[in-house]
């Protein structure tokens, strides 16, 4: 696609920079502050040919990518090393990209504006499937061949980490190295191996990759070969006997050992999460069956409360932020969270700085969650967000989000009574065995919440936000055939018709076409590579952005390469089917996931294993590690599977998902 | 305690927006330990107000903000401490307590002096264009405001123009442009000087207030309303600038 020759000038030992050429173009692009760097906390360690130079790239805009905590953590860890250093880069918006291509300016780092090809590693964070084409675009803009087999010693290694890499197969043609799981330890080990290689003066790129494949958590796709039997994947096998058959994810045993980021980046321009973030725990064992993050990040590892408090205090002092968010997959579940929040508020009151606002990324659906919200939102009370995820109790048992209607109404009542006026409820549609009754239950919950609010305020309103469900690898729903975009559109239509008559209920929904595109890559195999490349070559970048998203690019690319959307997206998988990620290990036993899938279809819930006996999912036992939880008892408030047997009720009912062990014959690729 | 602060915005940081500058200062004041007063109500905001917006990409030697502090600060140390908490390119140069009744920056500024780089004309051609523009009784500018077309005579807004000689990519032009009633921005001025004429770099050199007919720097206007010399809280350069302006 491109012929992006590096056009740069040297600044002596500190390396080359494109700044002089770039500077004159910035007044012609939107939001030029995206490209100037200068963040508080940025490392500015000079380019050093004797070290391993990492370029961490987020394949979306600066304002989406900058706040990414994973990338910031690894950036700091590398910059603390003596054998490595790191800069950052983000996908340039289309206006600058056009100017860069016409002026032969390559992708650059925001710190030194060093050309990307001058680094030893281009390391991408992959958090969303629809950014895959941006990854290709960034590699191409760097002047690096997009395919691994076309790269030589003069090119950087292209690496990726992040949640999407639990199925990296669609990107196998493009990624030299994939890191599975927590990156804190792995990036150091990779740096050490590469440093030794660099010092040796070797030019054997394949040898380096083979060496890297020996590191735990490191997957080198080119060291494996995929075998097919017609449309079926038979196996993905190592090419050499020293390359592991199965690559196990990395898990940091104790978060207390990694109090990062210590110097969170404070950008000069507005970004999506423009506040201090402190990770209070990693992992989640709520066991929501649709949730990939909850499955692949097990077990729960809490950060000690006093470390949280110190990180918040130091972080606020050095950043000047007046807002902190305590991040995790379910922050209200942290042991003693109410005390942690109170301490933070007290520290702030005695600091003499202005009012502090604390936010939790997700609120547990019960009165306890609302109490915490009341503690941290002393001032303004506009909206509160809950995520019941499904409209009926039957459906919530299937997805194992064990919130009773009473829990929700109690929480909503508590919120309205304490001054909140607007609720926001998140739901998924297109879940396994979902009937129209389940779908319409979403509207019903919204209506009932408004009714409760009317007791307290005439302005009570509820926003019902609905997203289409995409089954993800390493979840119990990985075998489930995704709803078609037409079916999702019909369900959204049902909800639109129903909520139109409901005063105070506002419906929002995610575009089912984007849900389909996400589904194509989420569970695809290596045969998807040419499809992604085709979409990119036809200009399909920034597919996360509705103004750039184009489903026809995806469907036409699938057709061109004789791949069936029915087969890849809509088909239920069988128990004995080889899945494209079977040679990777997220810590979960496949039979645990299958049993959980069967339980789901039987509408059987499964309580949180933090406070119950172990189900042997594999995440702890397989790694010789355990939950790190300060409190051995469930948090107060009694909800969501923590308060007794009623959530475990097994209900009957017809389940319109057919599961079979025989291969289906519909929609096979030719 | 209300302070008027003058600062510069030069170099790469010229690419951040007016709103970004406001956020950066809010954080820098907290980092530096200044207790900023907050507004009352459900959503308390720090009491900081900024003057005229500076377009993204323009530099400035003369930006201003007014801040209301909840506790007194050491005025001598204040500019240095605040600058330390600011990113490169933002430098606090002067600070002075404001007299009660001082007009807000938005109300008080009547004109700005600029150093502009004009691209697309050589020096002689620019001089020709400038003198033609200055000789005109009427200079019509077409503006598109939210899809609504308007035509404004901007001649009264062009207070002075002077060609100052070649720059890296074009020709330098010193311009004094009104910000009061009839206004014109530097990026609107450049195309009026000829076809395919573009604005290159732009730097604001001064912002001016008009107090009882005197042209004063905003800090001078805030400290003594221009009525008597003031030496306590503002630096000597500032005073000289204010007096030069008043007399010249």
What would the pLDDT profile of B11-66 be if each residue is shown by its tens digit? 999 999 999 999 999 999 999 988 899 988 777 889 999 999 999 999 999 999 99
Show residues of chain B in contact with A26, CB under 8 Å: 15, 57
Choose from B9, B13, B21, B31 for mutation: most chain A CBs within 10 A.
B31
A269 vs B20, B38, B89: nearest CB: B20
Residue B230: pLDDT over 60: no
Domain ranges for chain B, please list them: 2-107, 109-208
Q: Is residue A268 part of a domain?
A: no
Q: Which of A418, A426, A327, A421 is nearest to A367 (CA)?
A: A418
Residue B228: pLDDT over 90: no
- Domain match, A54 and A118 both: yes
Show residues of chain A in contact with B16, CB under 8 Å: 33, 36, 268-269
Q: Give yes or no for a contact between A486 and A132, defined as CB atoms under 8 angstroms apart.
A: no
* Between A656 and A318, residue with greater pLDDT: A318
Residue B140, pLDDT score: 95
B24 vs A: CB within 8 A: yes
Q: What is the pLDDT of residues A280-333, one digit of tens each?
A: 999 998 899 999 999 999 999 999 999 999 999 999 999 999 999 999 998 888
Q: Give the gap in angstroms from C-alpha B175 to the nearest C-alpha of chain A.
A: 20
Q: Is residue A347 part of a domain?
A: no
- Counted residue by residue, chain B has a size of 248
Residue B222, pLDDT score: 82
Q: What is the mean pLDDT of chain B?
A: 89
A354 vs B12, B36, B56: nearest CB: B36
For residue A420, give both structure tokens.
Answer: 């909140």
Quickly state the pLDDT bin for B191 (edges 50, 70, 90). very high
Q: What residues of chain B, 195 to 224, have a C-beta less than 8 Å from chain A?
A: none
Residue B204 has phi, psi (to 5 degrees) of -80, 125
- Domain match, A168 and A23 both: yes
State the DSSP code for A451. H
Q: Is residue A519 part of a domain?
A: yes
CA distance linking residue A248 with residue A605, whole number of Å: 28
Residue A378, pLDDT score: 64
Q: Is residue A91 part of a domain?
A: yes
Q: Give the gap in angstroms from C-alpha A15 to the nearest C-alpha of chain B.
A: 19
Residue A527, pLDDT score: 98
Residue B227, pLDDT score: 56
Quickly state the pLDDT bin for A668 (edges 50, 70, 90). very low
Show residues of chain B in contact with A32, CB under 8 Å: 15, 56-57
- Domain match, A420 and A522 both: yes
Residue B229: pLDDT over 90: no
- Nearest chain B residue (CA) to A41: B87
| Number of domain units in chain A | 2
- Domain match, A203 and A297 both: no
Q: Which of A195, A224, A248 marks a domain boundary? A: A248
- Nearest chain A residue (CA) to B38: A354
B43 vs A26, A320, A380: nearest CB: A380
Residue A147: pLDDT over 90: yes
Choose from A44, A268, A379 for mutation: most chain B CBs within 10 A.
A268
CA distance linking residue B210 with residue B219, whole number of Å: 12
The residue with tokens 């009104």 is: B178
Show residues of chain A in contact with B83, CB under 8 Å: none
- Domain match, A211 and A298 both: no
- Report CA A368 to chain centroid distance, whole Å: 27
Q: Give yes or no for a contact between A651 and A627, defined as CB atoms under 8 angstroms apart.
A: no
A352 vs B: CB within 8 A: yes
Show residues of chain B in contact with A348, CB under 8 Å: none
Across the range A152-175, mean pLDDT stands at 98
Quickly state the pLDDT bin for A638 (edges 50, 70, 90). very low
Cα torsion B176, B180, B186, B189 to 10°: value is -90
For A210, the domain range is 9-248
- Domain match, A460 and A521 both: yes
Q: Is residue A265 part of a domain?
A: no
Show residues of chain B in contact with A317, CB under 8 Å: 31
Q: Which of A412-426, A524-538, B7-21, B185-199 has the lowest mean pLDDT?
A: A412-426
B28 vs A: CB within 8 A: yes
Q: Give yes or no for a contact between B139 and B184, defined as CB atoms under 8 angstroms apart.
A: no
Q: How many CB pairs under 8 A join A and B?
A: 73
Sign, Cα dihedral of A488, A493, A498, A502:
positive
Report the DSSP pairing between strands A383-389 and B214-216.
unpaired
Q: Give yes or no for a contact between A78 and A71, defined as CB atoms under 8 angstroms apart.
A: no
Residue A375, pLDDT score: 76
For residue A201, give both structure tokens.
Answer: 């003066």
Q: Note whether B2-107 and B109-208 share their fold.
A: yes
Contacts of A498 (CB under 8 A, 6+ apart): A440, A443
- Domain match, A41 and A125 both: yes
Residue A2, pLDDT score: 44
Q: Which of A407-411, A637-641, B164-168, B221-225 has the lowest mean pLDDT?
A: A637-641
Quickly state the pLDDT bin for B226 (edges 50, 70, 90). low
Residue A11: pLDDT over 50: no
- Domain match, A239 and A305 both: no
Q: Is residue A370 part of a domain?
A: no
**Residue A184, burial from CB neighbour count under 10 angstroms (0-12, 13-18, 19+):** middle
Tell me the CATH number at A211. Answer: 3.40.50.2300
- Domain match, A239 and A301 both: no
| Kind plus residue range of the DSSP H or E element containing A319 | helix A305-319
A33–B17 C-beta distance less than 8 A: yes
Show residues of chain A in contact with B29, CB under 8 Å: 320
Q: Which of A34, A31, A37, A10 is nearest to A21 (CA)?
A: A10
CA distance linking residue A287 with residue A291, whole number of Å: 8
CA distance linking residue B36 with residue A357, whole number of Å: 16
CA distance linking residue A635 with residue A633, whole number of Å: 6
Among B31-35, B93-97, B220-224, B237-241, the range with the most confident prediction by mean pLDDT is B93-97
Q: Which of A123, A126, A56, A70 is nearest to A279 (CA)?
A: A70
Q: Give yes or no for a contact between B197 and B190, defined as CB atoms under 8 angstroms apart.
A: yes
Q: What is the pLDDT of residues A413-422, one digit of tens each?
A: 988 988 888 9
Q: Is residue A542 part of a domain?
A: yes
Considering chain A, what percentage of its residues have pLDDT values greater than 90? 78
B88–A32 C-beta distance less than 8 A: no
Q: Which of A293-302, A588-597, B222-231 has the lowest mean pLDDT?
A: B222-231
Residue B146, pLDDT score: 83
Choose from A17, A20, A25, A27 for mutation: most chain B CBs within 10 A.
A27
- The ipTM (two decimal places) reads 0.89
Residue A567 has phi, psi (to 5 degrees) of -70, -45
Residue B240, pLDDT score: 46
Q: What is the pLDDT of residues B80-123, one digit of tens each?
A: 999 999 999 999 999 999 998 899 999 999 999 999 999 999 99
A274 vs B: CB within 8 A: yes
Q: Which of A66-75, A269-278, A372-381, B137-146 has the lowest mean pLDDT?
A: A372-381
CA distance linking residue A446 with residue A503, whole number of Å: 10
Show residues of chain A in contact with B89, CB under 8 Å: 38
- Domain match, A173 and A304 both: no
Quickly state the pLDDT bin for A360 (edges 50, 70, 90). confident
Across the range A595-621, mean pLDDT stands at 90
| Kind plus residue range of the DSSP H or E element containing B134 | helix B123-135
A349 vs B: CB within 8 A: no
Residue A3, pLDDT score: 41
State the DSSP code for A249. P
3-class SS string, A10-26: ECHHHCEECHHHHHCCH
β strands within A329-379, DSSP E: 357-359
Fold assignment, B2-107: Alpha-Beta Plaits (3.30.70)
- Domain match, A241 and A303 both: no
For residue A192, give both structure tokens.
Answer: 């050490």
- Domain match, A419 and A512 both: yes
For residue A49, give both structure tokens.
Answer: 């040919």
CA distance linking residue A34 with residue A89, whole number of Å: 10
B13 vs A: CB within 8 A: yes
Choose from B12, B43, B45, B186 for mutation: most chain A CBs within 10 A.
B12
Q: What residues of chain A, 184 to 243, have a C-beta less than 8 Å from chain B?
A: none
Residue B184, pLDDT score: 96
Residue A379, pLDDT score: 56
Q: Is residue A24 part of a domain?
A: yes
Which class is B109-208 in CATH?
Answer: alpha beta
């Amino acid at each position: 696609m491109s012929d992006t020759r590096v056009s740069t000038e040297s600044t002596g030992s500190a390396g080359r920079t494109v700044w002089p050429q770039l500077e004159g173009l910035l007044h012609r692009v939107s939001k030029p502050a995206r490209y100037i760097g200068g963040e508080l906390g940025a490392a500015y360690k000079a380019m050093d040919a004797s070290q391993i130079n990492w370029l961490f790239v987020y394949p979306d805009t600066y304002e989406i990518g900058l706040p990414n905590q994973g990338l910031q953590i690894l950036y700091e860890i590398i910059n603390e090393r003596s054998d490595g250093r790191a800069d950052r880069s983000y996908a340039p918006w289309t206006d600058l990209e056009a100017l860069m291509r016409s002026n032969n300016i390559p992708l650059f780092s925001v710190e030194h504006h060093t050309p990307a090809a001058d680094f030893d590693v281009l390391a991408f964070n992959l958090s969303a499937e629809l950014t895959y084409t941006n990854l290709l675009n960034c590699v191409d803009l760097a002047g690096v061949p997009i395919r691994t087999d076309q790269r030589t010693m003069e090119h950087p290694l292209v690496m990726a980490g992040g949640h999407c890499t639990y199925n990296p197969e669609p990107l196998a043609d493009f990624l030299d190295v994939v890191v599975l799981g927590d990156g804190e330890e792995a990036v150091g080990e990779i740096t050490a191996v590469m440093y030794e290689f660099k010092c040796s003066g070797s030019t054997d790129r394949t040898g380096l990759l083979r060496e890297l494949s020996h590191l735990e958590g490191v997957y080198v796709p080119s060291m494996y070969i995929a075998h097919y039997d017609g449309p079926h994947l038979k196996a993905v096998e190592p090419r050499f006997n020293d390359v592991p058959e199965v690559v196990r994810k990395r898990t940091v045993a104790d978060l207390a050992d990694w109090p990062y980021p210590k110097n969170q980046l404070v950008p000069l321009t507005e970004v999506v999460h423009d506040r201090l973030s402190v990770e209070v725990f990693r992992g989640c064992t709520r066991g929501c069956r649709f949730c990939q993050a909850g499955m692949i990040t097990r077990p729960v590892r809490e950060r000690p409360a006093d470390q949280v408090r110190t990180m918040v205090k130091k972080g606020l002092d050095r950043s000047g932020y007046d807002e902190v968010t305590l991040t995790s997959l379910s922050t209200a579940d942290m042991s003693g969270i109410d005390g942690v929040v109170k301490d933070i508020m007290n520290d702030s009151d005695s600091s003499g700085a202005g009012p502090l606002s604390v936010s939790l990324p997700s609120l547990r659906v019960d009165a306890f969650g609302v109490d915490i919200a009341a503690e941290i939102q002393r001032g303004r009370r506009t909206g509160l967000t809950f995520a019941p995820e499904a409209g009926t109790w039957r459906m919530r048992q299937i997805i194992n989000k064990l919130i009773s209607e009473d829990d929700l109404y109690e929480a909503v009542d508590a919120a309205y009574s304490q001054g909140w006026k607007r609720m926001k409820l998140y739901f998924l549609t297109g879940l396994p065995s979902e009937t129209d009754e389940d779908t319409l239950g979403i509207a019903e919950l919204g209506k009932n919440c408004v009714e409760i609010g009317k007791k307290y305020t005439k302005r009570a309103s509820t926003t019902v936000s609905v997203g289409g469900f995409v089954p993800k690898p390493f979840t119990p729903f990985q075998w489930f055939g995704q709803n078609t975009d037409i079916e999702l559109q019909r369900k959204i239509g049902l909800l639109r018709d129903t909520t139109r008559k409901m005063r105070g209920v506002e419906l929002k929904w995610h575009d089912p076409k984007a849900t389909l595109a996400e589904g194509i890559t989420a569970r695809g195999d290596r045969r998807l590579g040419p499809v992604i490349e085709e979409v990119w070559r036809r200009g399909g970048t920034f597919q996360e952005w509705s103004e750039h998203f184009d489903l026809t690019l995806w469907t036409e690319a699938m057709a061109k390469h004789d791949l069936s959307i029915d087969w890849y997206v809509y088909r239920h998988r069988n128990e004995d089917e080889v899945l494209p990620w079977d040679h990777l290990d997220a810590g979960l036993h496949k039979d645990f996931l299958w049993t959980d899938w069967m339980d789901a279809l039987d509408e059987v819930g499964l309580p949180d294993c933090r406070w119950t006996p172990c189900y042997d999912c594999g995440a702890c036992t397989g790694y010789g590690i355990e939950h790190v939880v300060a409190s051995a008892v469930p948090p107060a408030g009694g909800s969501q599977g923590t308060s007794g047997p009623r959530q475990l009720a097994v209900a009957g009912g017809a389940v319109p998902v057919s599961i079979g062990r025989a291969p289906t014959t519909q929609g096979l690729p030719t | 305690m209300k302070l008027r602060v003058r600062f510069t915005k030069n170099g790469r940081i010229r690419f951040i927006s007016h709103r970004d500058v406001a956020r950066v200062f809010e954080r820098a004041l907290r980092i530096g330990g200044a207790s900023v007063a907050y507004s009352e109500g459900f959503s308390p905001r720090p009491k900081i107000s900024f003057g005229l917006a500076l377009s993204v990409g323009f530099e400035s030697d003369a930006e201003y903000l007014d801040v209301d502090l909840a506790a007194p600060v050491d005025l001598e140390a204040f500019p240095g401490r605040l600058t330390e908490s600011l990113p490169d390119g933002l430098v606090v140069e002067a600070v002075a307590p404001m007299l009660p009744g001082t007009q807000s920056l938005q109300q008080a500024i009547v004109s700005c002096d600029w150093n502009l780089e004009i691209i697309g004309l050589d020096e002689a051609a620019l001089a020709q264009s400038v003198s033609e523009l200055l000789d005109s009784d009427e200079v019509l500018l077409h503006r598109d405001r939210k899809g609504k077309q308007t035509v404004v005579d901007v001649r009264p807004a062009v207070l002075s123009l002077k060609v100052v000689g070649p720059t890296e990519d074009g020709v330098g032009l010193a311009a004094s442009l009104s910000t009061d009633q009839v206004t014109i921005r530097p990026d609107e001025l450049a195309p009026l000087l000829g076809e395919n004429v573009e604005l290159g770099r732009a730097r604001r050199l001064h912002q001016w207030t008009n107090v009882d007919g005197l042209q004063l720097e905003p800090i001078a206007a805030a400290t003594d309303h221009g009525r008597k010399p003031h030496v306590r809280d503002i630096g000597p350069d500032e005073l000289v600038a204010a007096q030069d302006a008043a007399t010249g």
